[in-house]
Amino acid sequence: MLGSLYRLGDLLRDHGRRRTWNPDLAAGRRGEDIAHRFLQRAGMTVVARNHRTANGSGEVDLIAWEGDTLVFVEVKSRATSDYGEPDRAIDGEKRRRLTRAATDYLRRTDMPPPKLRFDVLNVVFSKPPAVTHFRDVFPVGGAACPN
């Protein structure tokens, strides 16, 4: 029952966004809503959404705790996977931007460096939406992420 209410809320928010936002931006935000709920159901605690550096040089979609590991999550969404999976759009520049945003988040929160991890969630808007979670997708600071 509760899941149905969340889905209805997501659809209503998405409908409102599509009336005033750029369609691609609205679809991306819908993907983030779906990913947020997916992580919550997986037992993770989402503590921030759309964290941007002050100068705009980096952004991370979701930041969540999984146990004692702080997870920075990039959400990639597509209408279909006909032209490949969404995560294939993450290149070296996107990784640098994610790393900048993660470093900025740790600095702003004055948090000692915990265990860190970078994940990617693919969201394909099928019916129902398909979500694929890739954990520890690239190293933190040039070294492998601690687990």
Q: Tell the burial category of 136 from Cβ atoms under 10 Å away from its Cβ (0-12, 13-18, 19+).
A: middle
- Asked if the structure places residue 22 within a domain, the reply is yes
- Asked if the structure places residue 68 within a domain, the reply is yes
State how many domains the chain has.
Answer: 1
- Asked if the structure places residue 37 within a domain, the reply is yes
Residue 108's identity, in one-letter code, is R
- Asked if the structure places residue 146 within a domain, the reply is no
Distance CA 135, CA 118 (A): 7
Which one, of 122, 23, 118, lies nearest residue 63 by Cα? Answer: 118
- Asked if the structure places residue 71 within a domain, the reply is yes
pLDDT per residue as tens digits for the range 56-72: 889 999 999 999 999 99
> Domain span at residue 98?
2-134
Q: Tell the burial category of 23 from Cβ atoms under 10 Å away from its Cβ (0-12, 13-18, 19+).
A: exposed
pTM (global) more than 0.95:
no
- Asked if the structure places residue 122 within a domain, the reply is yes
Distance CA 62, CA 72 (A): 6
- Asked if the structure places residue 140 within a domain, the reply is no
pLDDT per residue as tens digits for the range 78-137: 888 777 776 777 888 999 999 999 999 999 998 777 899 999 999 998 888 899 999 999
CATH of the domain at 86: 3.40.1350.10
